[in-house]
Amino acid sequence: MSRSTLGRWIPAVGVATLALAGSPAAAWAGAFDERGVFRVSADAAAFEAFVAPTYFVPDDAEESCTLKTFHEIIDDGTALEGATYARVDAPSACQVRFVVELPPVQASYRATLWMRHGSAGARVLVSYPAESGIPLQPARMAPTGRATSDGWIELATNEFPVDGTLSPTVYLRFADFADADGVDLDAFELVPAGEFVAGEACEGVRDPVCGPERTCISGQCVLGRLSVPPLPEPPLKQAMAAALAGRIEVFYGGRKTRLEDLPVARLSLARMRSAQSAWAYWSDFGRAVRELHDWHTSASAPVGESLAVTTARLNACFVEGDADRSRGTWPSHPAYRDILVSHVGNGSAGLAPGDRLVAVDGLHPLEWARGLVDVQWGYHVATDASSFADFAEALGGPAWSGGAMLLRYAREITVVRCDAGTGTCSDVAETLRIRDLPAVLGGPDVYCDNRPRYHLGDESPSEATHQVFYEIFDGPVANTTPEEAIYGMVWDTLYGGGDPNGYVNGKIRTLSAFWKQNARGVILDHRAGNGGTLDAPEYMTQLVRPPFTLAAVRMPIEIAGFEGPSTPAEGVALFEQSKAFSPYTVGADDHDPELPVALILHRDGSASDYMPLGMKGAPKVRIFGPGPTAGAFSTFVQFAYWGGLRMQLASGDTITFDGQPWIGRGVMPDQVVQQRQSDLMVGVDTLHEAALAWVRQELKQP
Amino acid sequence: MNRRDLGSTRLAAFALGLSAVAAPGCGSEERLSPVDRPSSSNSSGGGGAEPEPEPAVRQVFVRNPIGLPIDNLLADGDFELSIVPEAEAGGQYGWIALRGNGGTAPLLAETGGLCRSGLRCGRLPAGRILFGRGTAAPHELPHKASIWLKPVSWQPRPPAELAEPCESLADVYVLACDSFSVVGVLRPAALPSADGWCELRAELAGSTRALCMYAEIGEQELLLDNATLLAAPELASGPLPAPITPPTPTTERMRLVREQIRARMPLGSPKPLVTAMPRGPEAREGGLLD
């Protein structure tokens, strides 16, 4: 068994409690005197003592949030400052908002707020008149680490700009939670800090005009520090970095990801300690988490959360494929597959199915997307290092679904257009600047699910939206005969949730029973597999194979820092040790050994990895897809910080009966099939056609 | 001790790899340093009696908002990273609160100096269950487990008439995360600490399977904080202790909680990727996550 050493997962520094007395208070806003009495900062530009605060409710707030106020002013001798404070106790759908007045000048401020009991989401918003064209600007609040013996803790923003000459409304937005009887607020203070920064246009995420403290997103320089917690004072800065690293070192990953990816992330974690700005500090943290290179693993921060929606539209979805009609115009990349337009909606910049995206900012689209690891907080990568389907899927589609990478981060794209009528493609590549894409209104956004078409006739999902999401679609496969009795299912969720009769498990079980009685062949289309829970894959495998304990799911991580079995023999020992308590049990005695079942995959992770793993090798199963699944063979542990900052770490591994650790190893299709450009151009779904041909060849005897 | 002295002491300790030094609750109580008072040079130097200084209103300090110690084998022993809006209760956080029937419940929080360490601590009403995710020490090293509890009603000390104030606050176990077989019971200290917190602790054998913490809150609403599960190489590795069987009602509740946790262990997106787009003020004021 591989062993990690205790010392290895102990970063170098840590701080528990530091008395503030006697320390310079220059970095803080309001200070405390020797008796612990709060003193308002002498240079505060605004201060709310919560005696009679000005509050408001937006016109478009939910009606239930407008019927009463959700705060009261309390004078009970326990205020932090003065005699009174506010107690907020709002329903989860509502927030409270308090307005402050600032001078009519261009300036930069840092806001602080003290709260006690429960927890909260707090942000300061700067709302400019509509005619200014400036979007609402949120600045998130998170702890500074300062606390008092009577329960108050300090939240703060980083420095944020306010153009007071435009008469903006500046207000605190506060949402309480995890409290028994409300959350108390006091001493909301805005102090001039830093330099005013005006908004600025930019092109592409690497545009140097934004400088190191801003990122170019959707054509605007986004001030990163507005969306991350304050930079902690040293030595708390070191201690927090060490604490975050400690969680990763103890809980992250399985064999592949600890051996190959964690060492990369450690370098970024180490850089946090020398960061000189909040944005640099938290960017290093975010980058480290992304460098862990795992489908389940993410760091999220609300970067660019209120960006004005760009007027440009690129209502198109992309898939990896085979550009069999345009290699003469643009050769294929030696390492990456070709990127083709799968399906489009209104406002696709003229792109049509079969057209080819050959470059983004001069790079192959997948190379470009992978390179965003240092800047893109929503970066999502397969654990298997050879799977890039997640990147291809996220290039297009709407931003609200995690897509629109091109619109948000690219400067220009290069495409090769094709003509379905002639079956040919242009011999000239065309470059489009993102900022020049036309604003096209009307028609739904198309969602990217890696399916150019559906094949369930009237039972299909909408080809106008491609929103499969949490639904399961089923029915006879189109263009087959009743005598063939070929049925299909289109679905992306495997969230059974432990309920055998719930929607997902119930549907799988009911359909399986029906197919065993009535079908001569089945096509399962799971091309945007979002995973779920282990029970749904187990039920699905019960259609096709006899019972077997295929693997042990050792997760979250069983031993701190465990690097997994280094030999198959160690792996077998671990499997034997865990199979009784955490088995992945596939199959059933009443499976149908004669029913051909084709499983079509494309971008599938986690429970959607387990399902093909459990079905692969069954006598009448054949898996079709362009490449490996994500290899996300674990669960995860979640960590919720303040101000919308979250971390999710994959934790643990899956060991099959033969001693193999599976994290980072996607399931390979039995038949590797690429979407062909020539097929897409004429509305043919290459993967489906391959699956249908095989099923027809293998039909169960009536 | 001033801020720099305190900091350098702890930094030095960590540089030696002694992470537990920075861990309040690892057998030592975290103390809040009082605010320094002005030096005597501030006095006028007159011969009359100096006026009594006014009493301090509060103490002010800086605490790590992420949670300590950094080598804690519990995912969020310090209750800093599991406090979420009720809609997210039941996620795969370091702590989840449950009802007696196994259903999830919100984990409430207290703040600042009302907690024993860090900026947030847990708060649960009587009768609730708390499940803490953890792992096991490498090399089958023995463990030390600890958690600190304090009834909300203690202000801040227990009523004087209580002879054994730390008894019966909660039943706390360390168990194998997968099977829920109990490997240790945490026993309360005889008396609370000076600031009214009761420590429950246990020494445990090494384990080849992940260890988790399970607590059933007694008849009082409690604050919970500073839970640790730490490798304890200094403890002798003796023979495995005999299996511990909790009372039958507890065993039944454990079974329900285990089923809940195992059945809902997320593998992928626990919910659809998109359920609803933010509208109204939420859309304009930023993201939904607080």
Tens of pLDDT, residue by residue over B228-260, are 999 999 997 666 678 789 999 999 999 999 998
pLDDT > 80? residue B21: no
- The mean pLDDT value for A337-343 works out to 98
Is B76 part of a structural domain of the chain? no
pLDDT > 50? residue B4: no
pLDDT > 80? residue B5: no
When pLDDT is cut at 50, 70 and 90, the band that residue A14 belongs to is very low
Res B276: pLDDT: 46
Is A67 part of a structural domain of the chain? yes
Q: Distance (Å, rounded) from C-alpha A353 to C-alpha A342? A: 5
- The mean pLDDT value for A476-485 works out to 98
Is residue A623 located within the same domain as residue A507? Answer: yes
Is A81 part of a structural domain of the chain? yes
Please answer yes or no on whether A16 and B68 come within 8 Å at the CB atom: yes
Is residue A140 located within the same domain as residue A44? Answer: yes
Per CB-CB distance under 8 Å, the chain A contacts of B113 are: 147-151
Res A188: pLDDT: 98
Longest dimension (CA), chain B: 77
Is residue A324 located within the same domain as residue A439? Answer: yes
Is residue A210 located within the same domain as residue A174? Answer: no
Per DSSP, the residues of A129-192 read -GGG-PPPEEEE-EEEEEEETTS-EEEE---EEEEGGG--EEEEEEEEES-SS-EEEEEEEEEE
CA-closest candidate to residue A496, choices A486, A509, A515, A484: A509
First to last CA, chain A: 52
Which of B62, B141, B264 comes nearest A146 by C-beta?
B62
Q: Distance (Å, rounded) from C-alpha A230 to C-alpha A184? A: 21
Which of B11, B15, B265 comes nearest A635 by C-beta?
B265
The residue of chain B with its CA nearest to that of A93 is: B282
Per CB-CB distance under 8 Å, the chain B contacts of A92 are: 85-87
pLDDT > 70? residue B10: no
Res B101: pLDDT: 87
> Which residues contact residue A264 at a Cβ distance below 8 angstroms, ignoring those fewer than 6 apart?
A291, A293
Matching residue, tokens 């070191």: A238
- The mean pLDDT value for A424-439 works out to 96
Res A308: pLDDT: 59
Is residue A409 located within the same domain as residue A470? Answer: no
| A92 contact B CB<8A | yes
Is residue A127 located within the same domain as residue A140? Answer: yes
Per CB-CB distance under 8 Å, the chain B contacts of A251 are: 75, 135
Please answer yes or no on whether B84 and A95 come within 8 Å at the CB atom: no
Res A373: pLDDT: 98
A125, two tokens: 């918003």
Please answer yes or no on whether B61 and A19 come within 8 Å at the CB atom: yes
Per CB-CB distance under 8 Å, the chain B contacts of A136 are: 284-286
Res B16: pLDDT: 29
- Classified as helix, coil or strand, A574 is helix
Q: Hey, which residues 446-485 in chain A have their CB within 8 Å of chain B?
A: 467, 469-470
- The mean pLDDT value for A496-505 works out to 96
Q: Across-strand partners of B284?
A: none
- The mean pLDDT value for A380-402 works out to 94
Matching residue, tokens 């596939």: A586
Res A21: pLDDT: 37
Per CB-CB distance under 8 Å, the chain B contacts of A121 are: 85, 289-290
Element (H, E) at B217: strand B211-217
Residue B100 belongs to domain with CATH number: 2.60.120.260
Is A3 part of a structural domain of the chain? no
Please answer yes or no on whether B119 and A145 come within 8 Å at the CB atom: yes
Per CB-CB distance under 8 Å, the chain A contacts of B92 are: 556, 635-638
When pLDDT is cut at 50, 70 and 90, the band that residue A28 belongs to is low
Res B269: pLDDT: 65
CA-closest candidate to residue A621, choices A689, A692, A588, A670: A670
Q: Hey, which residues 321-380 in chain A have their CB within 8 Å of chain B?
A: none
Q: What's at B109, amino acid-wise?
A: A
B85, two tokens: 């809006």
Is A580 part of a structural domain of the chain? no
Is residue A410 located within the same domain as residue A493? Answer: no
pLDDT > 80? residue B54: yes
Please answer yes or no on whether B114 and A401 come within 8 Å at the CB atom: no
Q: Higher-confidence residue: B53 or B170?
A: B170
Element (H, E) at A505: helix A503-518
Number of structural domains chain B divides into: 1
Percent of chain B with pLDDT over 90: 61
pLDDT > 70? residue B32: no
- Classified as helix, coil or strand, A53 is coil
Percent of chain A with pLDDT over 70: 95
A577, two tokens: 């040790």
- The mean pLDDT value for B53-77 works out to 95
Per CB-CB distance under 8 Å, the chain A contacts of B62 are: 15, 17-20, 144-147, 233, 236
Is residue A424 located within the same domain as residue A465? Answer: no
Is A242 part of a structural domain of the chain? no
Residue range(s) defining the domain that contains residue A132: 31-197
Which of A153, A449, A468 should one mutate to test binding to chain B, selecting the residue with the greatest count of B CBs within 10 A? Answer: A153
Is residue A466 located within the same domain as residue A442? Answer: no
pLDDT > 70? residue B17: no
Which of A10, A147, A635 comes nearest B267 by C-beta?
A635
Per CB-CB distance under 8 Å, the chain B contacts of A150 are: 57-58, 112-114
Judge whether A602 and A527 are in contact, CB under 8 Å.
yes
Is residue A320 located within the same domain as residue A430? Answer: yes
Residue A461 belongs to domain with CATH number: 3.90.226.10
As a whole number, the mean pLDDT across chain B is 81
- The mean pLDDT value for A110-121 works out to 98
Residue A666: CA atoms inside 13 Å, Cβ hemisphere, count?
29
Res A62: pLDDT: 86
Is B121 part of a structural domain of the chain? yes
Q: Distance (Å, rounded) from C-alpha A299 to C-alpha B234? A: 36
Which of A22, A497, A556 comes nearest B135 by C-beta?
A556
- The mean pLDDT value for A626-630 works out to 98
When pLDDT is cut at 50, 70 and 90, the band that residue A57 belongs to is confident
Which of A245, A498, A532 comes nearest B268 by C-beta?
A532
Is B66 part of a structural domain of the chain? no
pLDDT > 80? residue B278: no
Res B48: pLDDT: 60
pLDDT > 70? residue A12: no
pLDDT > 90? residue A40: yes
Q: What's at B203, amino acid-wise?
A: E
As a whole number, the mean pLDDT across chain A is 94
To the nearest whole Å, the CA of B132 is away from the closest chain A CA by 11
CA-closest candidate to residue A28, choices A114, A149, A139: A114
- The mean pLDDT value for A56-61 works out to 84
A475, two tokens: 């029915």
The residue of chain A with its CA nearest to that of B80 is: A641
Percent of chain A with pLDDT over 90: 90
Which of A14, A37, A493 comes nearest B10 by C-beta?
A14
Matching residue, tokens 């299912």: A489
| DSSP letter, residue A309 | P
Res B31: pLDDT: 35
pLDDT > 50? residue A10: no
Judge whether A651 and A554 are in contact, CB under 8 Å.
no
Is residue A46 located within the same domain as residue A189? Answer: yes
pLDDT > 50? residue B3: no
Lowest-pLDDT range of A225-229, A308-312, B60-64: A308-312
Is A114 part of a structural domain of the chain? yes
Q: What's at A133, amino acid-wise?
A: G
Q: Distance (Å, rounded) from C-alpha B285 to C-alpha A424? A: 48
The residue of chain B with its CA nearest to that of A607 is: B267
Res B287: pLDDT: 63
- Establish whether the linkage from the previous residue to B156 is cis, with ω within 30° of 0: yes
- Classified as helix, coil or strand, B60 is strand
Q: Hey, which residues 225-284 in chain B have their CB within 8 Å of chain A?
A: 231, 233, 259-260, 262-274, 277, 279-281, 284
Alpha helix stretches (DSSP H) within A292-430: 365-370, 389-395, 405-409
Per CB-CB distance under 8 Å, the chain A contacts of B286 are: 123, 125, 136, 138, 140, 302, 305-306, 644
Is residue A61 located within the same domain as residue A146? Answer: yes
Number of structural domains chain A divides into: 3
Longest dimension (CA), chain A: 90
Domain boundary (A446, A477, A493) is at A446
Residue range(s) defining the domain that contains residue B95: 86-263
CA-closest candidate to residue A119, choices A174, A75, A172, A41: A174
When pLDDT is cut at 50, 70 and 90, the band that residue B89 belongs to is confident
> Which residues contact residue B152 at a Cβ distance below 8 angstroms, ignoring those fewer than 6 apart?
B123, B220, B221, B222, B223
pLDDT > 70? residue A422: yes
Please answer yes or no on whether A640 and B92 come within 8 Å at the CB atom: no
Q: Hey, which residues 57-96 in chain B have their CB within 8 Å of chain A?
A: 57-73, 75-76, 80-88, 91-94
Which of B2, B22, B110 comes nearest A117 by C-beta?
B110
Res A24: pLDDT: 38
Res A60: pLDDT: 82
Res A310: pLDDT: 61
- The mean pLDDT value for A291-317 works out to 88
pLDDT in tens, A134-170: 989 999 999 999 999 999 999 999 999 999 999 999 9
To the nearest whole Å, the CA of B161 is away from the closest chain A CA by 25
Computed over its alpha carbons, how large is the radius of gyration of chain B? Answer: 22
Res B263: pLDDT: 86
- The mean pLDDT value for A605-633 works out to 98
Element (H, E) at A123: strand A119-127
Please answer yes or no on whether A178 and B83 come within 8 Å at the CB atom: yes
- The mean pLDDT value for A336-358 works out to 98
pLDDT in tens, B187-217: 999 999 999 999 999 999 999 999 999 999 9
- Classified as helix, coil or strand, A6 is helix
Res B243: pLDDT: 79
- The mean pLDDT value for A294-323 works out to 89
B264, two tokens: 């809902």
CA-closest candidate to residue A557, choices A381, A294, A327, A340: A294
